Structure 1
Amino acid sequence: MTRSRATAIGFVAVLLWALLALLTVGSAPVPPLLLNALCFTVGGLLGLVWVLATGGLAQLRGVRWPVYAFGTLGLFGYHALYFSALRLAPAAEAGLIAYLWPLLIVLFSGLLPGERLRSGHLLGAALAFAGAGLIITGGGGPGFQAQYLPGYGLALLCALTWSGYSVLSRRMGDAPTSSVAVFCLATAVASWGLHFMVEETVWPQDMLGWGATLALGLGPVGLAFYVWDIGVKRGDIQLLGTSSYAAPLLSTLVLVISGIAAPSWVLALSALLITGGALLAARASLSA
C-alpha cells in the first residue's frame, strides 16, 4: 500500500467523525458509559467479522499486551470523555473544542523523530485556540454560561486524548490494524463493567435513538477506527492530521442543517478560527 493511499483511507475516518456529534445527540438520554458499551460492542463485533474474513486472527497472537492496553485506554478514554462532554454542554460548541485534535496532532507530531514544527504550525495553533476561547467565553457577552464549563473541559481533554493516541500510535506501528478489533471489544467490556458500577441504566427511548446508537457503532465508533489506524501508521501523519481541518466545520454544518444547533456569529467565527488554524498548519506541512 502506498503512503498516499493510506493517507486517503485514513481521511475516510474524518468524514465519519463529522457525524459523531449528530448521532451522539440522537442517542440521548443514554448515559455516556452505557453508550460507550453499546457502540464498542457493535464496532468490536464489526472488526471481529473483518478479522475472521481476512484471516487476520493469527496476527493477534503476536501483539504485545502493552499495545492492547494502550489502544483500549485511547478508545475508552476519548469516547467516554466525548459522550460526557456532549451530555453536559451544547453539542456544536463542545464538538468544536473536541475537534482541536487535528491541530494538536500536528503539534505533537513535531516531537516524533524526523519531524519538526514551523511558524505556520504555531500560528495555526494560536488561531484555533482563539476559536476555542471564543466558544467558552461566548464572545465576551451574555452568551457565557458557567454551567457548561465542565462539558467544555471534558471536550478539551477529548482533543488531548485523541491527538496523543494518534501520534503515539506511530510508535506502535508494528501492531496490525486487526488489533483495533481487540481494542474495541476490550473497551466494550470495560464500559459495561463501569456502567453497572456507577450509572443508572437508561436505554434508547425509541427507534430513532436505537438507530443513532447502531449508526455510531457501525461508523464513527466502528469503521472509522480501522481506516484511521491504517492512515496514521502507514500514511503521512502530519498531512492526515492537518487535512482533518474539515472535521470541525463539517460537524458544525451537520448540526446546524439538522436543526440541533442554532446558527450564530460566535459559532460561525469559532468554527472558522478552528478550521482556519488547522488549514494554516496544513499549508506549513505541505510547504515543508
Structure 2
Amino acid sequence: MSRGKATLIGFVSVLLWALLAILTVGSTPVPALQLNALCFAIGGTIGLIWTAATGQFATLRAIPPLAYLLGVAGLFGYHALYFAALRSAPPAQAGLIAYLWPLLIVLFSGLLPQEKLRAGHAIGALAGFAGAALIIAGDGASIDPQHLFGYLLALACALTWSGYSILSRRFGAVPTSAVTVFCLITALLSAILHLALEDTVWPDRTVSWLSVAGLGLGPVGLAFYTWDVGVKRGDIQLLGVASYSAPLLSTLILIMAGLAPASPRLILAALLITGGAAIAARASFARPRSVPDGRAEP
C-alpha cells in the first residue's frame, strides 16, 4: 500500500469523527460510559466479522502483548480520561486542552525513523489548533485554576491519544485486525465502570437507537481501523494537521441540522484550519516521500 493511499484511508477517520457530535446528541439519554460500552461492542463486532471473513484469527495469537497493551491504553485510556476531564472542569476548556492531540502528534512525529519535522508542519498544526480553539472554546476560553485537576486530566487525554498514534508506528507489522481486540476489551472495561459509576438508561426513541448504532459503526468503530492504517503506513504529520478539520466539519453538520448557529467565528476557524492543512501539505510534498521501511516511494 502506498503512503498516499494509507493517508487517505486515515483521513476517513477524521471524516467519521466529524459525525461524533451529532450522533452523540442523538444518543441521549444514554450515559457516557454505557454509550462507550455499546459503541465499542459494535466496533469490535465489525472487527470480528472482518477478521473471520479474511481468515486472520490465527494472526491475533501471534501479536505481542505490548501491542495489545498499547491499543487498549489508547482506546480505553483516551475515552476514560476524556469523560473524567469533562466532569472535573468546564467542558469547553477541557475539550480544547484534550484536542491538543493533533498538535502533539505532529511534534512527536519528529522522533520517528524516516520522519523529519519541518517548520511547515509545526506552523500548520498551530494554525489548526487556533481554528479548533475558536470553535471549541468560543468566548469561554479562560482557564480557571480551581479546575486544575480537570485540566490535567484533559492534558493526559491528549498525551494518551497522541502517544498511542505515534507508538502505533513502532508496531507497524501488527495487522489492523488487532484493533478488534482493542475495541472488545475497551467495551468490557467501559461496561464494568458503567455498572460501578452510572445508572443504566437505555435509548427511549428510534433515533436514539440509530444514533448509538451509527456511533458504533462509524466514529467509535470503523474510524479506529482506518486510523490504524493511516498512522502506521501514511503521512502521520499531515494526518495530525488534517485532524483539526474534525471539529470544523462537526460544527458545519450541527449547523445544517439546525442544532447550532452560524457565526463569523466559524468562517475564521475554517480559514485557519484549511490554511494550516495547506501549509502542512506543502511541507509534506516538498520532500521525498518514504514508507516506514525506509524505501523511497515513487
SS of residue matched to 1:178: helix
CA shift in 2, pair 1:22/1:135, >3 Å: closer
1:277 CA drift (Å): 2.9
Paired position in structure 1 for 2:33:
33
CA shift in 2, pair 1:52/1:192, >3 Å: same
> Size of the alignment, in residue pairs?
285
Residues 245 and 273 in structure 2, CA contact (< 8 A), matched pair in contact too: no
1:225 CA drift (Å): 1.3
Cα distance in 2, alignment partners of residues 2 and 259 from structure 1:
40
CA shift in 2, pair 1:137/1:60, >3 Å: closer
SS of residue matched to 1:113: coil
Residues 11 and 231 in structure 1, CA contact (< 8 A), matched pair in contact too: yes
Paired position in structure 1 for 2:70:
70
Residues 26 and 207 in structure 2, CA contact (< 8 A), matched pair in contact too: yes
Unaligned 5+ runs, structure 1? none
Cα distance in 2, alignment partners of residues 18 and 136 from structure 1:
13
Paired position in structure 2 for 1:170:
169
1:12 CA drift (Å): 1.8
Paired position in structure 1 for 2:206:
207
CA shift in 2, pair 1:188/1:176, >3 Å: same
1:173 CA drift (Å): 1.1
After superposition, residues 10-25 of structure 1 pair within 5 angstroms as 10-25=10-25
1:96 CA drift (Å): 6.8
- TM, length-normalised to structure 2: 0.81
1:230 CA drift (Å): 1.6
CA shift in 2, pair 1:162/1:221, >3 Å: same
Tell me if 1:221 matches 2:225.
no
Q: What code does the residue aligned with 1:226 have?
A: Y
Residues 36 and 76 in structure 1, CA contact (< 8 A), matched pair in contact too: no
CA shift in 2, pair 1:122/1:242, >3 Å: closer
1:214 CA drift (Å): 0.7
Paired position in structure 2 for 1:258:
257
SS of residue matched to 1:117: coil
CA shift in 2, pair 1:202/1:65, >3 Å: same
Residues 100 and 128 in structure 1, CA contact (< 8 A), matched pair in contact too: no
CA shift in 2, pair 1:223/1:103, >3 Å: same
1:145 CA drift (Å): 9.9
CA shift in 2, pair 1:65/1:210, >3 Å: same
Paired position in structure 1 for 2:48:
48
Cα distance in 1, alignment partners of residues 279 and 27 from structure 2:
35
1:181 CA drift (Å): 0.2
Paired position in structure 2 for 1:197:
196
Residues 249 and 272 in structure 1, CA contact (< 8 A), matched pair in contact too: no
SS of residue matched to 2:176: coil
CA shift in 2, pair 1:47/1:89, >3 Å: farther
Residues 24 and 216 in structure 1, CA contact (< 8 A), matched pair in contact too: yes
Paired position in structure 1 for 2:235:
236
Cα distance in 1, alignment partners of residues 42 and 130 from structure 2:
37
1:118 CA drift (Å): 2.0
Paired position in structure 1 for 2:294:
none
Paired position in structure 2 for 1:128:
128
After superposition, residues 41-190 of structure 1 pair within 5 angstroms as 41-82=41-82, 100-131=100-131, 134=134, 138-139=138-139, 158-190=157-189
Cα distance in 2, alignment partners of residues 130 and 154 from structure 1:
21
Residues 86 and 95 in structure 1, CA contact (< 8 A), matched pair in contact too: yes
Cα distance in 2, alignment partners of residues 177 and 60 from structure 1:
10
Q: CA RMSD in A?
A: 3.2
Identity %: 65
Deviations 1:31-72 (A, max 9, x none): 221111000011101111111111000000101112111101
Deviations 1:105-132 (A, max 9, x none): 2222112123222222232343334345
1:274 CA drift (Å): 4.1
Q: What code does the residue aligned with 2:106 have?
A: V
Cα distance in 2, alignment partners of residues 157 and 68 from structure 1:
20
Residues 135 and 247 in structure 2, CA contact (< 8 A), matched pair in contact too: no
Moved more, 14-23 or 145-154: 145-154
1:79 CA drift (Å): 2.9
Residues 136 and 144 in structure 1, CA contact (< 8 A), matched pair in contact too: no
1:271 CA drift (Å): 4.6
